Structure 1
């Protein structure tokens, strides 16, 4: 059996000794191969570097290789991300990569994690040893499965502490890459009469009963594999990414609350491209408006002043000491509905495989009668706008008298998806 190949990205002009130590530790057991790629700014001559930075740039053009060292730091990083991403993606598509690792400071971490995010799909091992791994790392990881290991000391010369951490990192990426490699070999020899459908569902705390009922129904009656995504911004981004990577076959987008945060300024936005991946992929999609009755903020005193001091001009609900929810107004609900309708109309390549279900009995656990966010006027603005803006689009919109967490609504959503899946297969 061929050994797994681990790509080692190193800024060799500043971190050569540390990178070579990490390479040595990975190779020591003799169970994997390493491809060392120099992503540093200045050329380094060393026999153990498999692809130099100038060779990397030359893959684009000889002129790029000549100009690399003259570029300002920000431009060098931008261009090297492009070169390295192209190389790593090409090797992955050829089935030659089973893991990727690096050890770097702030600039190198920014460069390497961008390559990891852009070149490789979710599932392949990615490990970054970094001085930046203790703090706000969202911009490094985003919606991917990059593993960060804090270097504790600066990566500026080998020493006992750093060497132990790099040795641990070598063991971690070696183990992960070996298991990944074996799993792919096992998949290649496995025999299956019918591949399982992979179904994505979006969930929030206030839509959990709905999602649990859907998941149970689909697993029990159809044997589908269910992937639940917590609609916290990163969750929505992760789902969109996996759809683009063709790792999901259908979507029950029950909880679209991230759109409210994107438009109104909450802390759990999934960005402006939310709702595009499934529509563009043309896969079966059921969409609802779960938790669109709320915008998410941190503790109460973090609610922006535009809503009044500590949100005094708005209806707030403290979900817990760290999370404050703000009820969406009729105008905001119309804006949310406009966003959803535009995304679906502009991007759906198979409108017949998209269906919108509106739970008129309540869009979350706290928006039903007697609950704090019950507001029929706001809900009506959401429902009416979606219906009117999707009229003539080929996308079916249905109202259901139940609340989103009613088991009847959940089963209806699940069975509606089954109908779309059958339609797609016919």
Structure 2
């Protein structure tokens, strides 16, 4: 059976391009259906016209023409999302391709973001050359740069033909055998927590689970939250939570204010650690805000230049307390088992007292974000204040919530084994509070 492809765009300005794209989708072996997203006027020749899209939200094209383009695009987007997802639920969509400028990309990718993961989605737009995060969001959207903004010529014909071949090819890709699929576990990783994550992932795979490891760079955390909400993830090793620090303290790798909420909302088992939370992430060194640069003399506020394009700065102990408050309030909403494990000897490769290549820092001195607790120098002062915040705000009276103080570094094997072992017990219905109290390096609060 030929793949059914939605070919969409703002037809009153990109009509010829969309017609050609649909023609090439057919030439590539697909069955195109032209979907109109116009905000200026209805063209009258689309397979699914503007009137049909707007009727689902009780609007007419005349309503769109009377308002500014922002409101017009909002209504067209709302109507198109509703219409397209009805087609998806009816099995009438095997893929979608949209061609457009900034307005077309905004409407088109909003539709794509509303569609299930796995349905091929291709956005052809010059906006691909800039920041594409708002367009991609948390979904599997492909973006292609068309060189030209408009027009049918030798160059654009080649590009649009390639795009048509791409979407039909994706829609006709081999079917996947899902009969033997294993339950999927989520895991968050950053370079500074790699040893911990890789060891924990291997353990979970040996226990019969698939592991989805997302890169904790903002979009990775957003995607993980979405995957949990969509029901793909059955339990999570939330080892690397530094995106929360970036959200609260102005870093560039924020996953938004809803990070660390989906697992609690869905009631799936979660084991959490402050991986990488010793760092706020920025671009090149000259992009670090001045107020942070003025504080680099403070203990813990030192700079770590990871590469020419990534520079990190340490968080202060009092900021760790505030982050703990934020995380605790979110975890208090958990309806499933939730354990937060705090490694007192450091939260990642940059945060350790003595250089240790196996833990991620070769030296020659202590890690750049390390700050010792004066009362217990082998422990981090940042960890101590983080624990203080959790004790003050985490509802430890709830039977499903536990706080573990762990006398290990984040990247030591024992810490990784602790987290993965707890999650395994949760998934098998064996977890109980204080079940790890027999370990000399673990204290349950």
TM-score with structure 2 length normalisation? 0.87
Over residues 195-254 of structure 1, what are the superposed CA-to-partner deviations in whole Å (9 max), with x where a residue is unaligned? 41101110111100000101111222x121111111111110111111111121111000
Map of 1:131 onto structure 2: 126
Tell me the SS of whatever aligns to 1:132. Answer: helix
Q: How far is 1:66 from its partner?
A: 3.6
1:178 corresponds to? 172
Partner of 2:411: 405
Are 2:381 and 1:377 equivalent residues in the alignment?
yes
Q: Which residue of 1 aligns with 2:437?
A: none
- The 8 Å contact of residues 185 and 237 in structure 2, kept in 1 or not, is answered as yes
CA distance, structure 1, for counterparts of residue 296 and residue 135 of structure 2: 32
Alignment of 1:317-356 (within 5 A): 317-345=304-332, 347-350=333-336, 353-356=337-340
C-alpha distance in 1, partners of 2:381/2:163?
55
Structure 1 residues 310 and 36: CA distance shift in structure 2, 3 A: farther
Counterpart secondary structure, 2:325: helix
**What is the CA-CA distance between 1:256 and the residue it aligns to?**
0.4
2:282 maps to which residue? Answer: 297
The question of whether the paired residues in 2 share the 8 Å contact of 1:56 and 1:83 is answered with yes
> Is 1:76 aligned to residue 76 of structure 2?
no
Distance 2:297 2:119 in 1: 47
Correspondence 1:359 to 2:343: yes
How many angstroms apart in 2 are the aligned matches of 1:54 and 1:422? 52
Task: Specify which of 309, 315, 320 is matched with residue 302 of structure 2.
Answer: 315
Partners of 2:20 and 2:430 lie apart in 1 by: 52
Which residue matches 1:92? Answer: 88
Partner of 1:271: 256
Q: Structure 1: state its 5+ residue gaps.
A: none
1:161 paired with 2:165, answer: no
Residue number in structure 1 paired with 2:188: 202
Determine helix, strand or coil for the equivalent of 2:105. helix
Tell me the distance in 1 between the aligned counterparts of 2:182 and 2:105. Answer: 37
Identify which of 397, 405, 410 aligns with 1:392. Answer: 397
Q: Report the structure, 1 or 2, having the larger helix content.
A: 1
Q: Could you say what secondary structure the match of 1:249 adopts? A: strand
Q: 5+ unaligned residues in a row in structure 2: which ranges? A: 355-365, 372-379, 432-445
Aligned position for 1:150:
145
Q: How much does 1:377 deviate?
A: 1.8
The equivalent position to 1:116 in structure 2, one of 112, 115, 126, is 112
CA–CA distance in structure 1, aligned partners of residues 123 and 57 of structure 2:
26
Q: Relative to structure 2, which stretch is displaced further, 404-413 or 313-322?
A: 313-322
Q: Please tell me whether the aligned partners of residues 143 and 238 of structure 1 are also in contact (alpha carbons under 8 angstroms).
A: yes
Residues of 1 paired with 2:251 and 2:398: CA distance? Answer: 30
1:27-106 correspondence runs (5 A) = 27-29=26-28, 31-47=29-45, 49-61=46-58, 63-106=59-102
Q: What is the RMSD computed on CA atoms of the aligned residues? A: 1.8
What SS does structure 2 have at the residue aligned with 1:89?
Answer: helix
Q: Distance in 2 between matches of 1:330 and 1:386?
A: 13
* 1:310 to partner: Cα distance: 8.9
How many residue pairs match? The answer is 407
For residues 82 and 409 of structure 2, the distance between their equivalents in structure 1, rounded to whole angstroms, comes to 48
Is the 1:303–1:310 Cα contact (8 Å) retained in structure 2?
Answer: no
Deviation at 1:309, TM superposition (A): 4.7
Contact 2:342 2:383 (8 Å CA) reproduced: no
Deviation at 1:50, TM superposition (A): 1.3
TM-score (norm 1): 0.91
Q: Distance in 2 between matches of 1:65 and 1:424?
A: 59
Contact 2:11 2:43 (C-alpha < 8 Å) held by counterparts: no
